[in-house]
């Protein structure tokens, strides 16, 4: 193909999405560039236009060898013929995902990937910028092995140490639970890197390794396991605190505690016994490997099995298409899991519409499923991220005391004083156990000027 956009002659298509393309193009002086095009007529909403313009504005401010160099942005046409363009440095190479598809990475290669990505994250975070979509598809490996981080359409400036209420972006499996609700900080990018390293070390996407509480299972025996475990902690306060700290752990991992001399003989004997057992197991099962985790067989009733397939697609980009092609299981539990998927993708109106089709008793039980799916997000230590889902649950199950707690604490953090006071007052009326939940609610209610109610009999 050959056509002109601005001052660039397009040579071929590099990639195509629902509303745009990326071309290899050549400037008037013969330089090869990557030209991203957004076709206004096919854009589903303002979010895609905002992401496109944000990527151009972000790249313009960045100067790092592992980030594509900004060239220019421009637009052509009018009305439905309008097209937006972003010209940037052309990166010759392949996505890290293509390299992983050929087999898991060994320790040396995995260490090099971690080092290079951590260095570029240290640069971005020092500028107060989060990428928010670290994954193998967004890491290009040059022929010489250098990595380049691409696609800054999801990038966002930090407001203080954490940003609340951001638009939900990211890729399911690679993003931490708090990002499901739009809450991000520097550790969110580090989690995504950990999930990327997990994918590279096992050859399996992280969506295949998700546990029921949305934590990632990290198999024993993989390279850099200790670092990966620290990066993908569900609670942000248990993760490595920054890219520089992660680099330090990578370059100088903590040494295991020394064995005291009087226990040395016992330790040696245990090692010998363990080696003998391992040898017998290896002889009995020569095909066993510790590098990968077998895929779990489908479990549960039809609604639960449906959600096991749906879970990787419960994100704002893919959820609508998945739902259209894969109807949920029948019954109130099928509706509950489908509503939960919509809600995790940030599509609260769609989730509400499903729940409202049920009669009151079934709607109550279906809302319980939505709560169970969202509860790990809140339990990860981030009530704000689960705010919209918890308030959705309360519409159908107003006496769900844990939903009242999480919704109340999130509204308190977001400054929604009246609703926070209402939720927390009702939570304290229903919940009598004197524990951390009750103490937190009482402290927040005191700051809101509320009165602790008499606890209901339970």
3-state secondary structure of 403: helix
User: Which helix (H) or strand (E) covers residue 85, if one does?
Assistant: strand 83-89
Find the radius of gyration of the CA atoms of the chain.
25
pLDDT of residue 286: 35
Q: Active-site residues: which are they?
A: 133
Distance, CA of 423 to CA of 45 (rounded, Å) = 33
| Token pair recorded at residue 319 | 């959820």
Q: What is the residue-level pLDDT of the chain in tens, covering all 458 positions?
A: 458 899 999 999 888 766 678 999 999 999 999 999 887 766 656 667 777 888 888 999 999 999 999 999 998 887 667 888 999 999 999 999 999 999 999 999 999 999 999 999 999 999 999 998 899 999 999 999 999 999 888 888 876 544 544 444 557 778 887 776 567 788 999 999 999 999 999 999 998 888 877 789 999 999 999 999 999 998 888 999 899 999 999 988 776 655 455 444 444 444 444 433 333 333 333 333 333 344 445 567 899 999 988 888 887 767 888 999 999 999 999 999 999 999 888 889 999 999 999 999 999 999 999 998 887 766 665 556 677 889 999 999 999 998 999 888 888 877 888 999 999 999 999 988 888 888 889 998 898 887 777 666 55
- Output phi, psi for 65, to 5 deg: -65, -20
Block residue for tokens 């972003």 = 86
Residue 302 CB partners (closer than 8 Å, separation 6+): 329, 330, 334
pLDDT of residue 69: 95
Residue 54: how many CB atoms within 10 A of its CB?
16
- C-alpha distances (whole Å) from 172 to each of 161, 310, 359, 406 are 23, 11, 32, 23
3-state secondary structure of 23: strand
User: Which helix (H) or strand (E) covers residue 266, if one does?
Assistant: helix 264-284
Distance, CA of 85 to CA of 442 (rounded, Å) = 53
pLDDT of residue 49: 75
Point out which residues pair with 23 in neighbouring strands: 13, 35
104-141: pLDDT as tens digits: 999 999 999 999 999 999 999 999 999 988 999 999 99
Q: Domains, the chain, ranges and CATH?
A: 3-89 (3.30.200.20), 94-251 (1.10.510.10), 303-447 (1.25.40)
Distance, CA of 446 to CA of 419 (rounded, Å) = 14
pLDDT of residue 155: 86
């Amino acid at each position: 193909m050959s056509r002109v956009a601005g001052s660039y002659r397009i040579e071929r298509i590099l990639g195509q999405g629902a509303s745009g393309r990326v071309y290899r193009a050549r400037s008037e002086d013969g330089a090869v560039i990557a030209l991203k095009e957004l076709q206004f007529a096919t854009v589903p909403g303002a979010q895609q236009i905002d992401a496109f313009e944000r990527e151009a504005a972000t790249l313009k401010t960045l100067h790092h060898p592992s980030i594509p160099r900004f060239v220019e942005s421009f637009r052509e046409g009018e009305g439905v013929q309008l097209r937006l363009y972003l010209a940037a440095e052309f990166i010759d190479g392949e996505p890290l995902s293509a390299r992983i598809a050929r087999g898991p990475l060994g320790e040396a290669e995995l260490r090099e990937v971690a080092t290079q990505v951590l260095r570029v994250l240290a640069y971005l975070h020092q500028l107060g910028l989060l990428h928010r979509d670290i994954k193998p598809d967004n890491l290009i490996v040059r022929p010489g092995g250098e990595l380049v981080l691409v696609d800054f359409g999801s990038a966002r400036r930090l407001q203080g140490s954490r940003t609340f209420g951001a638009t939900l972006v990211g890729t399911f499996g690679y993003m931490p639970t708090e990002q499901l609700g739009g809450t991000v900080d520097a550790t969110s990018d580090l989690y995504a890197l950990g999930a990327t390293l997990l994918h590279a070390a096992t050859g399996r996407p992280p969506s295949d390794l998700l546990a029921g509480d949305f934590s990632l299972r990290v198999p024993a025996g993989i390279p850099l396991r200790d670092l990966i475990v620290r990066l993908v902690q569900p609670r942000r306060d248990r993760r490595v605190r920054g890219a520089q700290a992660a680099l330090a752990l990578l370059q100088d991992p903590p040494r295991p505690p020394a064995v005291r001399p009087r226990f040395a003989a016992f330790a040696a004997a245990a090692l010998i016994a363990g080696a003998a057992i391992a040898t017998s197991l290896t002889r009995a099962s020569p095909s066993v490997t510790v590098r990968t985790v077998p895929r779990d067989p489908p479990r549960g009733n039809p609604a639960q099995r449906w959600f096991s397939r749906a879970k990787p697609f419960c994100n704002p980009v893919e959820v609508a298409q998945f739902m259209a092609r894969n109807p949920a299981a029948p019954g109130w539990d099928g509706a509950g899991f489908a509503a939960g998927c919509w809600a995790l993708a940030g599509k609260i109106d769609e989730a509400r519409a499903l729940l409202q089709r049920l009669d009151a008793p079934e709607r109550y039980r279906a809302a319980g499923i939505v709560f169970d799916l969202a509860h790990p997000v809140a339990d990860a230590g981030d009530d704000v991220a689960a705010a919209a889902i918890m308030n959705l649950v309360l519409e159908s199950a107003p006496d769900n005391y844990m939903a009242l707690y999480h919704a109340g604490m999130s509204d308190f953090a977001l400054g929604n004083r009246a609703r926070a006071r209402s939720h927390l007052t009702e939570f304290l009326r229903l919940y009598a156990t004197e524990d951390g939940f009750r103490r937190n609610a009482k402290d927040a209610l005191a700051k809101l000027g509320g009165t602790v109610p008499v606890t209901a009999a339970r």
